[in-house]
Amino acid sequence: MPTVLVTGISGFVGSHVTWKLLQSGFSVRGTVRSDAKAEQVRTALSGIVNTEKLSIIAVPDMSVDSAFDLAVEKIDFVVHTASPFFYSGVTNASADLVDPALNGVLSLLRSCAKSSVKRVVITSSIGALRCVTPTLPEGLSEVDWNLASINTFRELGPETPAPVAYHASKTLAEKAAWDFVQSTNPTFDLVVINPPIIFGPIIHPCASPSQLNTSVKMVADFYLHNTKEIDPLAAAGCIDVRDVARAHVLALTTPRASGQRILISSGPFTQEMLVKVLEKHFPGRPYPSGFTIAVPIPEVTTKAALILGITEYISLENMIVDTVWNLKNSFNI
C-alpha cells in the first residue's frame, strides 16, 4: 500500500484522517510541531488502531521554505490538514491566521514538486466558498469564492476580525494552491475538500475542554452552560469529522477526483438546532433560549456524490450526540 503524508496529525481532522488511512491499510507519516507532541499523538492513536505503519516527524515551522523537504521523501500522497483555526486570542490577523495558512501551503507544495508525490489533497473550508449571492440558484457550490473576505482582509490587514480573517486565510491559501499547480505544472495533481463546520468525537490529544478545537468547543460550551445566549445570526452547514476523513481517503484513491474542488456537507446548522438536540438527549441542564434569524444558505454536494460516491452523511443530531458522549467520557463532564 502507498505511504501518505498527513500534515497536522495532532489536530481534530488530521487525527481522524490518519485513523481512517491506517484502518484502510495505508502507511502514514504524520507531521507535528514537536517531538513531545509526536509521542502524545502516537499514544492517543495506539488505543484505537494499529500504529505499526505510523511514523511521525516534527516540522516546527511549516511556513519556512523547504520545511517539508524531509517529510515528503518517498511519499506517494499528501493530505494537508494543518492550518490555524481559532478565533479566541487572535491579536494579529495576518501573523496568527493568514500568513501561516498561505505560507504553509506554498512551502508544502514546493517540497512536493521536488519529490515523488503523485497527489495532494488539501483541507480547505466552506469559508473559501461563502458568498452572499451564490452563482447557482440551488446554493453554494464549488464555483463560488469568498472574495469578500479577501477584500476585507486587504483593507483592514492585522485588524481584520478573526472569523473574517479565518475565511480569508482559507480562501487565499486555496487560491494559491490552484495557482501553483496551474503555473508550475508539477508531477502531482491536486484535490481540495471544502467542508463546513465540523463536529464529532475527538481522538487527538487534548488535556481539557478549554483546549478543544473551535467547533467542538462550541458544543462543550453550550453543554456546560459557558455560552449563555444563542447567536441569532449563526447559520451555516455542518458535517461530522468521520465523514470528512472518509472524503479525504476517497479523494486520494479516486482517479476522477484529479483537479477537483469538492464541497461536502451533511446539511444546515444553527445554534438553535444545536440546543434543541442537547435538550432532547441531555435534558435537565440550563441551556439558553433563543431563535435563529439567519437562514443557512443551501450547499450543493452534487460533485461529492458523483465523484466520490458520497450520498449519505451522519446527521446533525447523531454527530452532536456522539460529540457530547465523547466529551463526557474524555473529560468526565
The residue behind cell 478573526 is 162
* CA–CA distance, 318 with 324 (Å, rounded to integer): 10
Residue 199's contacts (CB-CB under 8 Å, 6 or more residues apart) are 215, 216, 219, 238, 239, 240, 241, 316, 319, 320, 323
Tell me the average pLDDT across 15-42: 97
pLDDT tens per residue, range 223-239: 999 999 999 999 999 99
pTM to 2 decimal places: 0.97
Output the nine-digit C-alpha cell for 128: 473559501
Helices (H), the chain: 12-23, 35-46, 93, 99-113, 147-156, 162-184, 214-223, 241-253, 271-281, 302-303, 316-331
* CA–CA distance, 259 with 68 (Å, rounded to integer): 22
* CA–CA distance, 93 with 102 (Å, rounded to integer): 12
Sheet holding 235-240, edge to edge: 197-199, 235-240, 267-270
Tell me the average pLDDT across 185-208: 98
Amino acid residing at 146: N
Q: What is the DSSP string of 259-312?
A: T-EEE---EEEEHHHHHHHHHHHS-SS--------S-PPPB--HHIIIII----
In whole angstroms, what separates CA 303 from the centre of its chain? 19
The answer to whether 148 and 200 are in contact (CB under 8 A) is no
Tell me the average pLDDT across 263-275: 98
Q: Is the pLDDT assigned to residue 208 strictly greater than 90?
A: yes
* CA–CA distance, 7 with 59 (Å, rounded to integer): 9
Query: What does the domain layout of the chain look like in residue ranges?
Result: 3-199+238-265+298-311
Q: Is the pLDDT assigned to residue 84 strictly greater than 80?
A: no
* CA–CA distance, 125 with 190 (Å, rounded to integer): 15
Q: Is the pLDDT assigned to residue 176 strictly greater than 80?
A: yes
Q: Is the pLDDT assigned to residue 86 strictly greater than 80?
A: no
- Residue-level pLDDT at 90: 82
Three-class HEC string of 239-267: EEHHHHHHHHHHHHHCHHHCCCEEECCCE
Which one is the CATH code of 3-199+238-265+298-311: 2.70.98.10, 3.40.50.720, 3.50.50.60, 3.80.30.20?
Answer: 3.40.50.720
Output the nine-digit C-alpha cell for 34: 514537536
Output the nine-digit C-alpha cell for 104: 504553509
- Residue-level pLDDT at 85: 77
* CA–CA distance, 71 with 104 (Å, rounded to integer): 14
Q: Which is higher by pLDDT, 86 or 34?
A: 34
The answer to whether 232 and 290 are in contact (CB under 8 A) is yes
pLDDT-above-70 percentage for the chain: 100
Q: End-to-end distance of the chain based on CA atoms, in angstroms?
A: 41
By C-alpha distance, which of 23, 21, 20, 17 is closest to 3? 21
Task: Label residue 132 by pLDDT band (50, 70, 90).
Answer: confident
